[in-house]
Amino acid sequence: MSNSVPAHTVIVGGAILGSFCAWSLRRAGYRGEITVVERDSTYQFSSTALSAASIRTQFGTPVNIQMSLYGADLFRNIKDVFGAEADIGYREKGYLILGGHERVGDRLAAVRMQRAYGADIRVLEPGELTRKFPGICIDDIGIGTYGAQHEGWFDAWSLPTLVRRAAKAMNVNYVECSVRGFDTTDSLVSGVHLSSGETIKCDVCILAAGALSGRLVAPLDIDLPIVPKKRTVFAFKTPFRLENFPMLFDMSGIWVRPEGEGYIGGIQPAEENDADADGDFEPHHCLMEAPFWPLLATRIPAMEELRLCRAWAGHYEVNTLDHNGVVGAHDELNNLIFATGFSGHGVMHAPAVGRGVAELITQGGFRTIDMSPLGWARIRNGIPLTESIVY
């Protein structure tokens, strides 16, 4: 589609991915009408607002590394992009991913691949781990990998608020309503039905509805394997202090990082207890007593003494095929563009995805990063592009 042709793009979902798509379209020179449909303008249950809001380059899929580097560059230069008052509290303190002795070979191979795509990943042997991160027990650790640049965390509320405000300032219209269905005409999505009874006509439809995406397009006979999975975050305080404490991914499955005067952390529930969330935002409180707390105390003994401050739960938009996002056009409804399914890493990849979607619409293809490996074809054919580093 040429950006010189007046057109109407409707974006289903107005959280981080939908808003970056809208903003990026305007940045790319798109002059058509843009309507973003968001069911909850408070965003109190959005995945980003309830997440750990972090970014890493340590992935097993090359395109994820490239998207993370793009996002980290934007976060580093946020004031240049959004203005002198822009601040998302970005702290580039790195990820530390620990592995056992049996994983050393695999992890070294992964680091070589990550470095080949521009990531600055350091390999830390047990002695180096002890010197750099005292207090972390390394008795069973064979390797640690650490992101020296382009990894860290930021404020979960500030970034989506910033990009929405910028999109609205560029004449993007936000409508608060739920989507009830779609009209299709001649292999195109021609309209979006709203809960208000209105139907919005469109020339392009971007699906950025997060965990609800699969269910929204199911009536179109599109089998999009995206489901909502509940993930709990525990906020706690402990006497343990380490100035350079990173985002720690432990081989046991726990993660933990600093937050304010304390820490936040979590662990996925066992598969048999990980049903689709279906609007359930009640934290998995039982995970604190076991397994999270015992595993945390094993890895960082000084954290055995802790005080739980609060807990909350958000939804991952989990792509059950391969834990990777879906970006690009459907093969039959070719004006339906996916920007969804990122399985916990949507917030860090939203800037790159927005840019990629804007390039598809205004230039007919990806230009900055080739996101075609994330396209619909692998979903249709059931051929996973498996992301191996998942938390």
The per-residue DSSP string of 227-289 comes to EEEEEEEEEEE-S---TT--EEE-TTS-EEEEETTEEEEE-PPPGGG--B-TT-----THHII
Same-domain check for residues 210 and 273: no
- pLDDT tens digit string along 182-214? 999 999 999 999 999 999 999 999 999 999 999
- End position of a domain, from candidates 289, 315, 341: 315
Q: What does the CA dihedral 362, 341, 38, 41 come to, rounded to 10 degrees?
A: -120
Task: Decide if 386 is inside a domain.
Answer: no
- pLDDT tens digit string along 22-36? 999 999 999 999 999
Same-domain check for residues 236 and 217: no
Task: Decide if 294 is inside a domain.
Answer: yes
- pLDDT tens digit string along 217-233? 999 999 999 999 999 99
Task: Decide if 190 is inside a domain.
Answer: yes
Report which of 235, 312, 231 is spatially closest to residue 274, judged by C-alpha positions. 231
- pLDDT tens digit string along 281-314? 999 999 999 999 999 999 999 999 999 999 999 9
Mean predicted confidence (pLDDT) in 327-355: 97
- CATH code at 260? 3.30.9.10
Q: Is 105 exposed, middle or buried (0-12, 13-18, 19+ CB in 10 A)?
A: exposed
Q: For residue 391, what pLDDT is reported? A: 83
Same-domain check for residues 23 and 171: yes
Task: Decide if 72 is inside a domain.
Answer: no
Q: For residue 48, what pLDDT is reported? A: 87
Mean predicted confidence (pLDDT) in 109-121: 98
Task: Decide if 58 is inside a domain.
Answer: no
Task: Decide if 286 is inside a domain.
Answer: yes
Count of C-beta atoms within a 10 Å radius of residue 36 = 25
pLDDT at 6 over 90: no
Which 3 state secondary structure label does DSSP give 27?
helix
Q: For residue 207, what pLDDT is reported? A: 98
Report which of 335, 338, 348, 357 is spatially closest to residue 387, judged by C-alpha positions. 348
Same-domain check for residues 325 and 311: no
Mean predicted confidence (pLDDT) in 256-283: 95
pLDDT at 2 over 50: no
- End position of a domain, from candidates 274, 297, 315: 315
Same-domain check for residues 193 and 281: no
Q: For residue 5, what pLDDT is reported? A: 53
Q: For residue 318, what pLDDT is reported? A: 97
Record the tokens describing residue 9, joined without a space.
């793009």
- End position of a domain, from candidates 286, 315, 344: 315
**267 within 8 A of 254, measured Cβ to Cβ:** yes
Q: What is the mean pLDDT of the chain?
A: 96
pLDDT at 275 over 90: yes
Q: For residue 3, what pLDDT is reported? A: 44
Task: Decide if 202 is inside a domain.
Answer: yes
Domain that holds residue 95: 91-150+228-315
Q: For residue 278, what pLDDT is reported? A: 85
Same-domain check for residues 247 and 206: no
- pLDDT tens digit string along 56-73? 999 999 999 999 999 999
| DSSP letter assigned to residue 323 | S
HSE at residue 255, side-chain half, CA atoms within 13 A, is 20
Same-domain check for residues 132 and 234: yes
Report which of 158, 154, 346, 347 is spatially closest to residue 258, judged by C-alpha positions. 154
Same-domain check for residues 311 and 235: yes
Same-domain check for residues 204 and 250: no
pLDDT at 54 over 90: yes
Task: Decide if 388 is inside a domain.
Answer: no
Q: For residue 4, what pLDDT is reported? A: 46
Same-domain check for residues 233 and 307: yes
If one counts the domains in the chain, the total is 2
Same-domain check for residues 194 and 309: no
pTM of the model: 0.97
Same-domain check for residues 106 and 219: no
